[in-house]
Amino acid sequence: MTVGIILFMTACKDRAAEKRIAELESRLAQLETNKGTNALPTVATPETAATVTDEKPEGPLPVAQFEKIDHDFGTVSEGKKVTYIYKVKNTGEAPLIIQSAVPSCGCTVPTWTKEPIPVGGTGSVTAEFDTNGKAGINNKTIAVTANTWPKITTLRFKAMVTPKAESNGPTK
């Protein structure tokens, strides 16, 4: 009797899996059919939206040339705030506009040049990293969005944060 129940349950799972595979194959065939047209997908996910709308704009573009995109703060004591300025030069053919700078976590506060950076001009993105509660090795990023191609440049920094000394009384 138990063998029959196990076989029945397995068969149900197989039918459900086969049904799901058939649905996915049908959807794939539909997408391949629409590939030659400019039709947008019915449901726009962040992945499909980026694929559809991320086309290189025509005309002169700015180029954000950062002096460096990686910075190492080295060893820092927990509780300190450390700052690094990423310098950027516009080596393109149009004014550079930094639209946003989004950190990978709340412990980093970025600020950036808000006014357009003319061709040949310079600007910056400043990263302030609060080490409080961040003992150990830290690798953080800032996604800088600008009117460049590609639109996003990722700045990175790392730090080895030494933990605060415990203040549970006198040390021996």
**Residue 55 to residues 50, 51, 62, 120, 172: CA-CA distances in angstroms?**
9, 8, 15, 25, 64
Query: 159, 162, 104, 107: which is closest to 135 by C-alpha?
Result: 162
Indicate whether 146 belongs to any domain. Answer: yes
Shared domain check, 86 and 138: yes
pTM over 0.85: no
**Residue 169: HSE in the Cβ half-sphere, 13 Å Cα cutoff:** 1
DSSP H helices in the chain: 2-34, 46-53
pLDDT surpasses 50 at 131: yes
Range(s) of the domain holding residue 29 = 2-53
Shared domain check, 111 and 32: no
Number of CB atoms found within 10 A of residue 36's CB: 7
pLDDT, tens only, 32-58 = 665 544 444 444 344 444 444 568 888
CB distance 158 to 140 below 8 Å: yes
Say how far apart CA 116 and CA 102 lie, in whole Å.
18
Phi, psi of 28 (to 5 degrees): -60, -45
Indicate whether 119 belongs to any domain. Answer: yes
pLDDT, tens only, 62-120 = 999 999 999 999 999 999 999 999 999 999 999 999 999 999 999 999 999 999 999 99
**What is residue 29's predicted lDDT score, i.e. its pLDDT?**
64
Shared domain check, 107 and 73: yes
Q: Which has more confidence, 172 or 30?
A: 30
Strand order from edge to edge, sheet including 122-130: 64-66, 81-90, 122-130, 108-112
Residue the block writes with tokens 């703060």: 73
pLDDT surpasses 80 at 145: yes
Which CATH number goes with the domain that contains 109?
2.60.40.10
Indicate whether 91 belongs to any domain. Answer: yes
Indicate whether 34 belongs to any domain. Answer: yes
